[in-house]
Homo-oligomer: A and B are copies of this chain.
Amino acid sequence: MSAADSLHELRDALRVFAAEREWDRFHTPKNLAMALAGEAGEVIEHFQWLSPEESAALQPEQRAEVALELADVLLYLVRLADVLDIDLADAARRKIDVNAARYPGDKSRGRSDKYDRL
């Protein structure tokens, strides 16, 4: 794949990938939502017995494994958005605006009780 980091380009690449393998029939939103959750579960398994400090100091090998797990989450997420005809980049921008209004910088500073979203 080319060096772009665009969500739209990633979406297009995955469309071609699925079409070439005739996998569209398996790519219902229900199935892709399950795949997304399954991959998120694999991410969490890397961190479950680590202290917060250890989680921030992974060994190179484990960090490389986690990178590919995060990629799996992203690929299913992009594909799920696509089959639902949701513009993921647009939704992310809108969600950041929602969060900015919900958590004003001066009132949310350093408070975890004000914190349940990015």
Contact = CB atoms under 8 A, between A and B. Distances in A.
A92 B18 CA distance: 15
A63 B86 contact: yes
A71 B92 contact: yes
Contacts of A115: 21, 23, 26, 49
A96 B17 contact: yes
Nearest to A28: B52
Interface of A: 1-8, 10, 13-14, 17-18, 20-23, 25-26, 28-31, 33-53, 55-56, 58, 63, 66-68, 70-77, 79-81, 83-86, 88-100, 103, 105, 108-110, 112, 115-118
30 contacts: A1-B96, A5-B6, A5-B7, A6-B6, A14-B96, A17-B99, A20-B105, A21-B108, A21-B110, A23-B115, A26-B115, A28-B52, A29-B52, A29-B56, A30-B47, A30-B51, A30-B55, A31-B48, A34-B34, A40-B73, A41-B41, A41-B42, A49-B112, A51-B52, A58-B84, A70-B77, A70-B81, A73-B77, A74-B74, A74-B77
